[in-house]
Structure 1
Amino acid sequence: MPAPTEARLLEIVFPDHANHLGTLFGGQALAWMDKAAFIAASRYARRTVVTARSEQVDFRVPVRQGQLVELVAKVAGVGRSSMKVEVELFTEDLHSARRELCTTGHFVMIALDEDGKPATVSPLAPLAGA
């Protein structure tokens, strides 16, 4: 059975996650995205992982207090010990079910062995039909 390459998390934007404008703090969005990347990489590698880098994070649309947030993290590439994880943050209005892609980012996660040294990760399996 191939290793899972995707993780999904759900959060709700409460007042303590929002700024004075009633929208999600950028730092909170990054923390949730990093958490989703961590889970996706950990499930894929089945090892302890750490964040090496976050890059190209684009905040497209504000996330409002009271909205549901779904984070979708996918392992998109694998090096010797590194995994590139793409994360998308969607909002969903709980009453209308309207969804919108709000934020995207790329994270590089490193697998570690028992001594805290970089550990080899299995290559990413090719997509079916590729």
Structure 2
Amino acid sequence: MTPIADPPSTEARMLEIVFPDHTNHLGTLFGGTALAWMDKAAFIAASRYARRTVVTARSEQVDFKLPIRQGQLVETIARVAAVGRTSMQVEVELVAEDLLSGERELCTRGHFVMIALDADGQPTPVPPLASAPG
């Protein structure tokens, strides 16, 4: 079978269940765990888009709007929103879902800047962002 090249993907989605070891004394998701999940999704989205090794350069403006509670399903959605010469701005959202009712709420939103690296660990160009997501 001949592989077919798809356009670069600009999105990554991950699912997690919030277990007790993910929570603080109030039964809500640790902020550090939320940031780790968001950084991982940003890494995957940027890696899939650039098809290069990527690293996090910075996280910006992370807003914790609503608490995420133990037992909820969390969908982490990362999208490459803008591209520079070697950098990618990735928007990431955490959406909590009650598994019994199906109710979903946007709880956390943040922006991450990822840098593409070449084989020597130096910043390397990434393709321009198409107008429509891939």
* Range class of TM-score, shorter chain: over 0.9
Distance (whole Å) between structure 2 residues aligned to residue 94 and residue 83 of structure 1: 33
**Partner of residue 81, structure 1:** 86
1:127 pairs with 2:129: no
| 1:95 equivalenced with 2:100 (yes/no) | yes
SS in 2 for 1:41: helix
Structure 1 runs of 4+ off > 2 angstroms?
none
1:15 aligned to 2:15? no
Match of 1:44?
Answer: 49
| Structure 2 residue matching 1:52: 3-state secondary structure | strand
Gaps of 5+ in 1: none
Amino acid at match of 1:2: P
Residue from 71, 75, 90 that aligns with 2:76? 71
Shift of 1:84: 0.1
Cα shift readout 1:51-109 (whole Å, capped 9, x = no counterpart): 00000000000000010000110000000100000001000001001000000000000
Question: How many residue pairs end up in the alignment?
Answer: 128
SS of equivalent to 1:16: helix
Deviation at 1:123, TM superposition (A): 0.3
TM-score by length of 1: 0.97
Partner of 2:60, secondary structure, is: strand
Q: What amino acid maps onto 2:8 in structure 1?
A: A
For the aligned residue pairs, the C-alpha RMSD in angstroms reads 0.9
2:29 is equivalent to residue 24 of structure 1: yes
Q: Report sequence identity in percent.
A: 77
Please state if 1:5 is matched with 2:10: yes
In 2, the alpha carbon distance for the partners of 1:11 and 1:50 equals: 23
Instruction: Please list the CA deviations of residues 5-45 of structure 1 after superposition, one character each: whole Å capped at 9, or x if unmatched.
Output: 00000001000100000000000000000000000000000
